[in-house]
Structure 1
Amino acid sequence: MTSPEQGSGRKPALIATDVDGTLLDDDENVSPRTRAAVRAVVDGGATFVLATGRPPRWVRPIVDQLGFAPMAVCANGAVIYDPSTDRIVSARSLSADVLGELAEIATRVIPGAGLAVERVGRSAHDAATPQFVSSPGYEHAWLNPDNTEVSIQDLLSAPAIKLLIRKAGATSADMAAELAKHIGLEGDITYSTNNGLVEIMPLGVSKATGIEELTRPLGVAATEVVTFGDMPNDVPMLSWAGLGVAMGNAHPDALAAADEVTATNVKDGVARVLERWWL
């Protein structure tokens, strides 16, 4: 694949980056160097996009640190969110019927696993839509959990942008490998941490499809895009872009999918690449 710095030598038209483990350091901060590089991208006329597994309600802290509100591909591509207007632009979801099928498979294949779903309304904190609901006893994989426990029946009663399967003490890679033996057309399996958490997305949805949804009206081709990521949920966009850059701290799957490897997230890996064209 021809990268933006190969061939024509022109600057990339669009930069899309993962957030956790990529844009952020290990303290969930955007470093001054990375912030300056991102601002230079925007000031130089290119488009900057966040591409994250995070739901829209977890985007605001990033926006506050950047000092501007880029478009965000959230929930691994299932949601396009505009933080400047706090509006869900589009969403792809798993139907209640499909959720039921997936839940049956997950609880059978991974005994003791907890289930949760992410839903979206019209805005990041739509009070009319309980957004992160989980089965009783669900153990959150992240700090500061914001889930609401409901019955399994309620959990599976409405469409969701993703299903989360969680088993404390397990590894996400092992869980994903086992689930892949049983899940086909029901959805796509991915994960963004190896801490016993697997996410099931609507079939055909990924960060790559989300970014492409934003590039299409801009007339930007994949060859003009640079993407950054570190985990298996970043693999589709790393493979799709003209230049896919894996972080030095990246999962082996991300490293294998990327065109090149930069420094780690704590050593300004994103900034080091952007500074080739800006600053």
Structure 2
Amino acid sequence: MIRLITIVLFSVWFTSCISNKRINYLQNIKGNEPIELDEFIPYAEVDYEYVLQPFDIVDIDFASPNQELLAAFEYQGAAAVRGGRAGGGGGGAMDIFYFSGYSIDKDGFVRMPVLGQIKLAGLTEEMARDKVQEAINTYFKEDVSVRLRIGGIRFTTLGEFQSVGPKVILKNRATIFDAISLAGESNILARKNELFLIRQYDGGMKIHQINLNDRQLLASPYFFIQPNDVLYLQPMQIRQVGSGENISSSLQLGISIITAMMFIYGITSGIF
């Protein structure tokens, strides 16, 4: 009986405890080129610029000395929504750019007052701004300045995050850690070496696997998130045995199992 109890305790401890190697971010996991502290890490794509895609939302507004004429080129109410914007990121409950911005349709076009349909998909922010600038210059001889920005980075979190669902970061560039911090620190039982990133491409989707434990992530092409990304963080298999979040929970699980075993042993041996 003592031998059996010893085996059970060791099994519970072995299966319930979680190594820090499975929890800590950005470890120097040995590979072909390990990254040391204070080492400069260039981005995977130094000249990275996001290319607009169908279903993105862009924020477009104009500036000119003659604001009354410019009013014809904006939807009524859009300026009021812009005036009431609050800074920072949001969890998707109130997506201000959904109401004030322009959504790119499935064919890559935005429809604007007076200017009509303009194709922006496949262009960078700067290229798209120049295209809108060219379109409005046909109506004005005086200077009109166009400002065009991505209406925030929309992404979705699923799985072992504190908060799951649609999220919005009001920036034009954000890292995967910006996304994780907005969604809430991942559960200790999350499988951080297998974060699945579902990314939209022209005509379809791809699933990429990311290792948050590995410092090489900083040089990965997936270090920066893109609009419409989906982040899915899987749970560890340890959940099938017990929570394993700390020694106390592991001991409680072991004591419960041993108590049940001793009770069954007492009944079968005639002690009780």
Q: By the TM > 0.5 criterion, same fold?
A: no
Computing the radius of gyration from Cα coordinates, the structure with the larger value is: 2
The higher-RCO structure (CA 8 Å, 6+ apart) is: 2
Provide TM-score, normalisation by structure 1: 0.25
Provide TM-score, normalisation by structure 2: 0.25
